[in-house]
Structure 1
Amino acid sequence: MSDLSSGKGHRDENFPVASVLLAPAHRAPILAFYRFARAADDIADHPTAPAAEKLTRLTAMRAGLDGGGAPEAMALARVQAERGIDAAHAHELLDAFVQDVTVRRYADWAGLIGYCRLSAMPVGRFVLDVHGEDRAIWPLSDALCAALQIVNHLQDCGKDYRALDRVYLPADLLAHHGAAVDDLAAATAAPGLRAAIAEAAARTQALLATSAPFARAIRSHRLAAEVAVIQRLAADLARRLSAHDPLSARVHHRKAEAAVIAARAVAGLLLAKALP
């Protein structure tokens, strides 16, 4: 079989992945999970590979989690065994990539959140388990991870439609604003599509309001700092997406902007933890 890898690494993602804020002992298993996820994502998102081939390769990824299959999955399986981490997180993530191959439209917001339950929430849960954090804070993590996923979808909504015929904006939201799926092919968002994106961004901001206490609830100071940074970056992007057109402009952070936002987030967390 041909190589379907995109060549992307953890430093190419929109949000920090196992940054230097984390303890080295925790970065290694998180990077193993990332490499597994990246390999599966590249399979699901390949623009020309047939669906049948993608599903066959994803089956090999799942087999690797059970001891014999794709090398990235086998490496993660070893980490999970050594650390006593539940394999359900990785299996659920694979379920999401299978869904990417087989499902191209979402009827409503609940359906999109259901997808995020598989595609995003297991990532945060895995990271929390690596750090031995209390599972009682999973709902805060789930809200943040869903928000990150939706921010990525909104940033790439035009590209996802043109390259993969995949639409994450819910159909009822598009219809409510008089927008059509075909509007995503344009160089500039029509007013209805722009309104639908803005509403999706507003709903994402509501998720981020739910996750706002997350960083302060984490026992690990280093993980709390990374989460505070991610929360602040996501909030800024969601705000931008409510006001800017991702079809005609690249709604991302420049490195200098991200660094300033990160510094402010860490400073804010330190201050919040210092106050009674």
Structure 2
Amino acid sequence: MSTSLHTPVSSPSSEPSPAGAETPSGKGAKDENFPVGSFLLPKHLRPHVAKYYAFARAIDDIADNGALSPEDKIKRLTSFDAALKGEPGYGGEYQKAHDLRESMKETGVTTKHGSDLVAAFILDAEKSRYASWEELLGYCELSANPVGRYLLDLHGEDKSGYRYSDALCTVLQIVNHLQDCGDDRRELDRIYIIEDWLKEENEDITVVDRDAVSPGFRNVMDRMLDGCESLMSDARKLPSALNSKHLAMESAIIVRLAERLIQLLRKGDPLAKRVALNKVDFASAGLRGAAAGFFEAGRGAA
């Protein structure tokens, strides 16, 4: 299962692509924190996953381009959504949207899973602070959960599995926000740290401008990770809720990567040094997760 497409912020290109609508950052699947369309997925579905990723990467790059005004971002993003929905008047500069629309038509997957991502990135252009845990979860419903839902639909899974994929995708989004909190602030002035919880610690958003995590910020991080741990109780059930062994294996691997990243963030300081998974983490999760997912598939989440 692929997850959140929010990657470490780098200096984006200030120039649109030759096509005129995109502002490519140069990032690709290799830059993501978690597998994107890995070899574990059925071969005949990988091209469709690639088209979904290409669309998501294009609109994410627009949202993360610091050289664009919020109004320009919203205009470009809205146009991508219109092209995805098949509205007339959108040409080759929106080819990734056209490709995804045709892919979704072929596979019977709703374009809502693309439109929701657009809505999340429009929200990024309009909103840069989150006061409560509930607000952040609402953002994740648009920015992360559609990815898991897309994959479930693509594999013909029952929609009852959304509950478990939503939990996993939300966790991945939130831990990614914690990993990148300093970069998000410096590059885009976005803060996904809960403001109300910071206030309870007599802190404010400037905590992410420091060179090290303060005790108050550590308490807020731990509360956010506690919330992630609660969500993991559902996320761990995802492989069993799936009928596809391929998707169950990939999901089980990502569950283990999420667990490991939560552990690392409990101990690490994302302001002093980026907290990230290493090759050993990926290898361990891959071996254990693939085996577990193979045997768990089809057993039922209950």
TM-score range, shorter chain: over 0.9
User: Does structure 1 residue 214 correspond to structure 2 residue 233?
Assistant: no
Which residue of the other structure, out of 97, 101, 113, is the alignment partner of 2:121?
97
Which residue of the other structure, out of 209, 219, 225, is the alignment partner of 1:185?
209
Displacement after TM superposition at 1:274 (Å): 11
Partner of 1:143 in structure 2?
167
Which residue of the other structure, out of 257, 279, 283, is the alignment partner of 1:259?
283
**Structure 2 CA distance for aligned equivalents of residues 244 and 29 of structure 1:** 37
Contact 1:179 / 1:196 at 8 angstroms: preserved in 2?
no
**1:1-276 alignment, distance < 5 Å:** 2-3=16-17, 4-67=23-86, 68-69=90-91, 70-270=94-294, 272=296
Contact 1:198 / 1:243 at 8 angstroms: preserved in 2?
no
- Listed as ranges, the gaps of 5+ residues in structure 2 are 1-14, 18-22
**Structure 2 CA distance for aligned equivalents of residues 178 and 102 of structure 1:** 27
Moved more, 185-194 or 117-126: 185-194
Distance 1:274 1:96, change over 3 A: closer
Contact 1:44 / 1:98 at 8 angstroms: preserved in 2?
yes
- Listed as ranges, the gaps of 5+ residues in structure 1 are none
**Structure 2 CA distance for aligned equivalents of residues 173 and 212 of structure 1:** 27
**Structure 2 CA distance for aligned equivalents of residues 261 and 51 of structure 1:** 39
Displacement after TM superposition at 1:268 (Å): 2.9
Moved more, 45-54 or 222-231: 45-54
**Structure 2 CA distance for aligned equivalents of residues 135 and 23 of structure 1:** 20
Letter in 2 for 1:172: D
Paired residues, number:
276
Displacement after TM superposition at 1:270 (Å): 3.9
Displacement after TM superposition at 1:48 (Å): 2.1
Distance 1:80 1:247, change over 3 A: same
Q: Deviations over 1:191-245 (max 9, x none)?
A: 1112211221121121112211111111000110000001110111012112211
Distance 1:272 1:30, change over 3 A: closer
Contact 1:189 / 1:248 at 8 angstroms: preserved in 2?
yes
TM-score by length of 2: 0.87
**Structure 1 CA distance for aligned equivalents of residues 130 and 104 of structure 2:** 32
**Structure 2 CA distance for aligned equivalents of residues 220 and 269 of structure 1:** 10
Displacement after TM superposition at 1:24 (Å): 1.1
- Structure with a larger share of its residues in helix: 1
Contact 1:106 / 1:112 at 8 angstroms: preserved in 2?
yes
- Superposition CA RMSD, Å: 1.7
Letter in 1 for 2:250: E
